[in-house]
Amino acid sequence: MISAARNPSLGAGALITGLFIAVAALAQVWTPYDPRILSIADKLRPPSAQHWFGTDQLGRDVLSMIMVGAQTSVGVALLSVLIGVCVGVPLGLLGAARRGATDEIVMRGNDLIFAFPALLLAILITAVFGPGAINAIIAIGIFNIPVFARVTRAGALQQWTKDYTLAARVSGKDPLRISWEHILPNLLGLLLVQGTIQFSLGVIAEAGLSYVGLSAQPPTPSWGRMLNEAQTLTALAPYLALFPGFAVLLFVLGLNLLGEGLRRRAGPPA
Amino acid sequence: MSAPQLLEVIDLSVAIGATRIIKNISLEVRAGEILGLVGASGSGKSMTALGIMRLLPSTASSTGITRLNGEILSSIPESRMRAIRGRDIGMVFQEPTSALNPLMRIGDQVEETVRSHRQASVAEVQSLAREALDLVGLQGEQGALDRLPYELSGGQRQRVAIAMAMVLSPQFLIADEPTTALDVITQAQVLLLLQGLVRRRNMGMILVTHDLAVIAQLADRVAVMHQGEIVEQASTAEILRRPRNAYSAALLAASELAPKRAETGQISTPAILQVQGIVREYPRKRTSLWRAAKPFRALDGVSLTVHAGETVGLVGESGSGKSSLLRVILALERAQAGEVSLLGETFSSATGATLSRLRRSIQVVFQDPYGSFDPRWTVEQLIGEPFFLSGSPPSNVERRRKVTMVLEQVGLSATDAQRLPREFSGGERQRIAIARALITEPAVIAFDEAVSALDVLIRAQVLALLADLAERLKVAYLFVSHDLHVIRAIADRVYVMQQGRIVEEGPAAAVFNSPRHAYTQALVAASPKLPVLN
């Protein structure tokens, strides 16, 4: 067991990530103000005791908006990682288990997705389904698929070189069953680390998509759109851009630290 | 007899953290003398070698005095020690592949040693390097200096490593398992080379090895290490004849694997495994756009037979096709031609239920005791895995009873069933692997170098267990190994394999005592043996 002192990134990462997830959960039941209610009289108040993070140009409480925005951010990133895991991991296992033509088709398909601009896909989905958080989840999720497929395949190929896979085949098990029973459990550490990294990339991607208006639509607040709206007011109320900006930064930093901490704990000492 | 002491080690101790891994050892080596340092893995042999060179890992701390030619090495500054390494003491490591830089020409690598110690002209450095490579027998090839490590065989690479160690004519050489990674015939050549160098140049040498037979051939004196201590130090002849310490006696006894008593008469039991005319080809990388490369033929018409209750040995060097053959026999790979039949039924092209039923009759034990088990499964789950082959899996009670039974058969206890593989030592893991092979009550078990990764003492125990199980359970073995001693100790009948073909077969005693094929003769001659002492 590695103590927290020898693996500080794990502790710090878990703390920050936990904080954001707790805030997102809290926003479900309580926020200081309702971020959907406009109050033009209170517009552009700087941070104060009543409004810790101030109010925006429509008089909405920035802290409340950030709390609800955390919900959007966590939800989109988490679901898109799930899409990536649920599709990518089986594909990676399949490629490693079957090799040959199957492997080739799976991996070249992945290359194709990798080569596709994410923004273009998001716009295409918007054209079909209309804008919304679901749109962002699908777009980011699709780009998680090849990442998980590649990581899984690489890890699985390494496991396949071990003699225990041969022993399992001598026991009459076919490669897909061995992948499920032996290989996947031995890749969980690897996937947990990759999942954390993709989570943080998902947070950034969601902020990016909502900045250009392709994610959650008003009145649901999102960090990216808050940044977009703050852009025209930077001279007047710089805190409007600072708070959501810092929220993205801190959350991503926390997730990266968590990923690094998990990697250090799972893998050989680096 | 009054040759001067070349190297003296007095009271060397090495500790990593609070664990003392070398405890107050003292050694002396005279000029022209070879000291064999022998012991099981983990006994501290390599740490001793590194301790003398002051190349210990940074987490280790050492005390004691090391003297080379009167100069105290243990207290001089690191810069001075750097000058001594390579110039006065050369070192050869076990793995020739990782000891060489894969991107550097071998000439440059040998020259590098010279340049880091001496200001010399390009021509001078080159001629030194060429001489060193001549010395290790790499001359003759025009442009040997220009070749890259991947173009050389394992034996040639080890020669390059020796050339690097010898290029500055050091007075002392430390060789850490220099031949363990090489095959038998190459091993004999490299050992002869090292011995010749030490004798001709009146150098001193410490030869670190786990193999007493290598020591017997090369060393003048032997130091036996056990758990960080030197338990006995004496002349080679004396240790081989009258070991004083109980541990060295046990080590010697375990190294002298007695040949199995020759079975009298013809084997009368029916053939249970028949392998006929197996051809296995692997595709090679295309080199031309227009036609496919000629495939590599790993197995070229191999036939062999295993009778019920018999132990058959299959000997060959690495790359001779042993492992490919085993995979074909186990129906893990399909051959391009030929047939494997098991208990009179065709196994190699069986499918579905027939395949599962036949698989129960043949099980396997692999070489690596660490890679053979899924690290997340308990021993009970691992041993019970082949139950998958029976159409109706046994009830939990029945399953537990059977696992306990095989665990006890291999000398482990029922309480081990709930533990994870990492809690066991290498020897115990091989016992678990044997238990897993026994669970389906097979007619034949294949062993792929199953004792090669084990220490001498453990190896002797596992071989004794196998002989006992064969006797009691009447199970047949197909035992694949590169080690002639092991095969000789366990096999009734032997097949010798070279480049994908069986070149000789016969009763073990006959094949080893009077080999007929030239390759078998070379193998037998090259494999190091302990002298027969009375």
Lookup result for tokens 């998980």: A148
Superfamily of domain B5-255: P-loop containing nucleotide triphosphate hydrolases (3.40.50.300)
Please give the pLDDT value at position A269. Answer: 41
**Residue pairs between chains A and B whose CB atoms are closer than 8 Å:** 51
Asked whether the predicted pLDDT for residue A49 surpasses 70, the reply is yes
Query: Are residues B363 and A170, on separate chains, in Cβ contact within 8 Å?
Result: yes
- Provide the pLDDT for residue B231: 92
Amino acid identity for residue B17 in this structure: G
Residues B295 and A150: their CA atoms lie apart, in Å, by 30
Predicted confidence (pLDDT) at residue A270 exceeds the cutoff of 60:
no
- Residues in chain A closer than 8 A to B323 (CB atoms): none
Q: Which residues make Cβ contacts (< 8 Å) with residue B51, sequence separation at least 6?
A: B12, B14, B22, B62, B64, B66
Mean pLDDT of the residues in chain B: 87
B388/A173 touch (CB, cutoff 8 Å), yes or no: yes
The whole-angstrom separation of Cα B80 and Cα B345 is 71
| Segment B339-356, tens digit of pLDDT | 999 998 999 888 888 898
Determine the residue among A160, A164, A186 to mutate to test chain B binding: the one whose Cβ has the most chain B Cβ atoms within 10 Å: A164
Q: Give per-residue pLDDT as tens, B280-314.
A: 988 877 777 777 778 888 899 999 999 998 999 99
Q: Is the pLDDT of residue A2 over 50?
A: no
Q: Is A4's pLDDT higher than 60?
A: no
Categorize the per-residue pLDDT at B141 as very low, low, confident or very high, splitting at 50, 70 and 90: low
Q: How many CB atoms lie within 10 A of CB B327?
A: 21
How far away is chain B from the Cα of A29, in angstroms, using its nearest Cα? 41
Which residues in B lie closer than 8 A to residue A170 (C-beta atoms)?
A: 330, 332, 359, 362-364, 386
Does A166 contact chain B (CB < 8 Å)? yes
Instruction: List the Cα angle B82/B87/B89 in 5-degree steps.
Output: 85
Query: From the list B355, B372, B386, which residue is nearest A163 (CB)?
Result: B372
Calpha distance B365→B445 (Å, rounded)? 7
Query: The domain B271-361+442-526 belongs to what CATH superfamily?
Result: P-loop containing nucleotide triphosphate hydrolases (3.40.50.300)
Note if the bond before A8 is cis, omega within 30 degrees. no
Question: Using N-to-C axis directions, what is the helix angle for A100-115 and A133-160, rounded to 10°?
Answer: 140
Q: Whole-angstrom Cα distance, residue A97 to residue A102?
A: 9
Distance (Å) from the alpha carbon of A91 to chain B's nearest alpha carbon: 22
Mean pLDDT, rounded, for A120-137: 83
Enumerate the domain spans of chain B. 5-255, 271-361+442-526
Q: Could you give the percent of chain B with pLDDT greater than 90?
A: 34
Q: Would the pLDDT of B46 be above 70?
A: yes
**Distance (Å) from the C-alpha of residue A135 to the closest C-alpha of chain B?**
39
pLDDT of residue A127: 81
Task: Say yes or no to pLDDT of A173 above 50.
Answer: yes
- The chain B residue lying nearest A187, using CA atoms, is B376
* Domain pair B5-255 / B271-361+442-526, same fold: yes
Contact A166 B436 (CB under 8 A): no
Q: Mean pLDDT, to the nearest integer, of A60-81?
A: 90
pTM of the full predicted structure? 0.81
Which 3 state secondary structure label does DSSP give B282?
strand
pLDDT at A121: 82
What is the SS3 assignment for B222?
strand
* Span B355-365, average pLDDT: 91
Residue B388 sits at the chain A interface (C-beta within 8 Å): yes
Q: How far is CA B196 from CA A151, B135, B188, B483, B522, in A?
A: 52, 10, 12, 25, 21
Q: For B372, which of A164, A169, A171 is closest by C-beta distance?
A: A164
Query: Closest Cα of chain B to A119: distance in Å?
Result: 40
Interface with chain A: mutation pick from B332, B374, B436, highest number of A CBs within 10 Å: B374
- Per-residue pLDDT reduced to its tens digit, B462-517: 999 999 999 889 899 999 998 888 898 899 999 999 989 999 999 988 898 899 99
ipTM for the predicted complex comes to 0.76
Domains of chain A are 8-30+54-266 (1.10.3720.10)
Residue B262 banded pLDDT, cuts 50, 70, 90: low
Give the integer Cα–Cα distance in Å for B35 and B213: 14
For residue B385, the 8-state DSSP code is: G
- Percent of chain B, pLDDT > 70? 96
Indicate the range of A70-84, A227-241, A242-256, B400-414 predicted with least confidence: A227-241
Phi, psi of A194 (to 5 degrees): -65, -40
B184 CA: distance to closest CA in chain A (Å): 25
Q: Which two tokens mark B257?
A: 């694997």
Nearest CA in chain A to B436: A167
Query: pLDDT category, B142, cuts 50, 70, 90?
Result: low
